[in-house]
A and B are shown apart, each in its own frame.
Chain A
């Protein structure tokens, strides 16, 4: 199949791309991150203001929309490359700052260090990203170009060496390429960790001529957004990986299965595919070889279970997304009964890098059994939330304290939830656990797809378990009885506990049900559904006991077990902040002008607690609710 002319063809395209980019030379470049995370906080307004200012000042500059660098906490962000100076990255932008920067920096030469996040290279008085603890731990492989190249312009990707691995792969036999991937020990990044090369080989070795390759971008885990960011920031990387996978598996048709909630990702993939087809990189006789591949985008319809590969296939066949028994694995009999390779977005993103740098390079990163990097979506109560790419084997505490800069608001760390609804909550004593497939499973969580939600002392672990069970219970497809009814019963029990109606025998009942649901479910949705309950019971049993025996929520979170109370000795009297903030007019002034909450009217919306000025902090939460009565009567 190989005829060794793909690489020269690509070389030509790359030269052309570099030549076309030459028009940007000598210009100031302003890169603004406009992935979904940036757009949500006004990045498009920032782009508009930059363009207006450049127009007004008649500057020789170009504003380019790029993806996300992973520092989502500081969005909207922009990197300004002024010719002859190191690039400077600005964070927390708004229209006002964006209106100032072109005048101050580009015209008058003041780099406005007060708005700068970091410099891209060594700078006189702005530190670089490498000067922060985060910079030392992070190792960007997949995300190397995210946030630096224009995802909607293929020439950007070609100029940084893009599609070189596809050309190199096309010039080799599929078996050689598979050998390289197997040699790298790349494991599926969707969560299960199946060796990728083996999967391709199974499909490629099939007698059946029609085969399919699917990129699984149905990222449904609440708290995970790695796939979205990669697709929005560097779609061509994933397309390249998908094309290599298709070549190795001998497929003529490939699909992107993207969830419906990611409209921007869908738009950018479609645009990227069009551009690649136009240049002859994808499509009929790719890069002048005999190999042809058609790639199509299929949009999911909002069912979490469709992230499971057999359910995903069912939904593409126009059926409700019910998983089926494995074996036969999709690599043997998948879409329309044909051999099908299904790989996660991140897995496919590593493929071009392994082809380019070799299997040895990949194995040199991370641990022996889990080589490479891991991408985590950091969310929850961290100072710096966002996306982090770290080598496998990095410890949890390094990720939370060095990359995420610790817990926000001077609160205490309580737990970290890893792996979404299938994962578990790990407490402080497990923070030395290195992140790799085996260590995390041993600690009671799982690698999952990479969502990491950090919880502080104000988060109730029973409520967390209830939240995840509520999710899996709603998303259960209903095929297996234990998953459909077992999760419902577990949820009922947890709801009872969070309402203060728990019974002493509930905990044993939960444990029994968890075992049954795990044993009686076909797919991983059901098999792992009890994990959040089991891990919280394992590490935070005392919280369950407080809810059941004392009808008290130690973290002051469960609504039925708390009440809001205004401390009379702290209330400032002449301040009305809480009264104005209350949406149901439950707060009134007593004869001493001290504010009091009418507990019958209160909807526990938290507004008064937020509104009370920090110098008073008079509003507090108490649990159990009758604590208010006790305090009002003055009984200490």
Chain B
């Protein structure tokens, strides 16, 4: 299973195995990693699974669908490397992905 690393706002690092096919959001929820709310359950209808992707990963991720950027407009402190973690599906290509979880979602 690919390993995904979540850096939470309290400066802790959580590296966990996430099953292929699940999203980076689901990986966090299933492993009780704090800081991802995912209010809408992964439907790209809110912006509460917002993460900052480590710069070197930005180009390796699937491009944003229409709508993801619109939702990110509503996120807490969006930046250039912002993504919705519900839109990042874990695969072998994402082995070693690192994301930072913002200080809050709402």
A and B are interacting partners: no
Q: Which A residues contact B (CB, under 8 angstroms)?
A: none
